[in-house]
């Protein structure tokens, strides 16, 4: 199997990995406008809404700096699995949140998890 066919086999996996990131980033702004969100978490100021939407990207950037070195040391699969686990814990916290602080902690954990696994899935 040549190098080109190896790369073309990985290409669909990269797009599958982008689905959670794209879905989250595209839907969170609308979620913060929903009546149920406003009654359970509270109305957000424009600053807090922007911070809530971008928090996943802010916290996702930091682990991507060292995720490659961790993958070289412990293996890509282990780091992807660890990132997926951190992301799952964050998503559960977001879903169970009844206060803004808990929701933001969940978003931050999702970002950390994404920073770990997305930087390793894409290479």
- The answer to whether 103 and 51 have CB atoms below 8 angstroms apart is no
> What is the pLDDT at residue 34?
83
Which H helix or E strand runs over 33? none
* Domain boundaries, position 73: 3-121
Q: What does pLDDT average to over the chain?
A: 82
> What is the pLDDT at residue 6?
46
At 36, the pLDDT band (50, 70, 90 cuts) reads confident
> What is the pLDDT at residue 31?
79
Average pLDDT (65-82) is 92
> What is the pLDDT at residue 32?
80
Q: Name which residue leads in pLDDT, 95 or 18.
A: 95
Q: Name which residue leads in pLDDT, 108 or 18.
A: 108
**3-class SS letters over 21-68:** HHHHHHHHHHHCCCHHHHHHCCCCCHHHHHHHHHHHHHHHHHHHCCHH
Count of positions (residues) in the chain: 123
| Cα–Cα separations (whole angstroms), residue 45 to 33, 72, 113 | 11, 42, 27
How many distinct structural domains can be found in the chain?
1
Alpha-carbon distance of 112 to 107, in angstroms, equals 9
Percentage, residues of the chain above pLDDT 90? 46
């Amino acid at each position: 199997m040549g190098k080109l066919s190896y790369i073309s086999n990985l290409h669909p996996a990269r797009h599958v990995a982008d689905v959670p990131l794209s879905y989250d980033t595209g839907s969170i702004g609308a979620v913060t406008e929903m009546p149920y969100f406003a009654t359970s978490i509270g109305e957000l100021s424009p600053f807090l809404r922007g911070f809530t939407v971008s928090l996943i990207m802010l916290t996702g950037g930091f682990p991507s700096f060292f995720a490659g070195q961790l993958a070289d040391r412990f293996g890509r699969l282990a780091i992807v699995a660890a990132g997926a686990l951190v992301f799952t814990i964050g998503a559960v916290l977001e879903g169970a949140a009844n206060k803004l602080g808990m929701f933001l902690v969940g978003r931050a954990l999702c970002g950390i998890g994404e920073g770990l696994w997305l930087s390793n899935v894409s290479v």
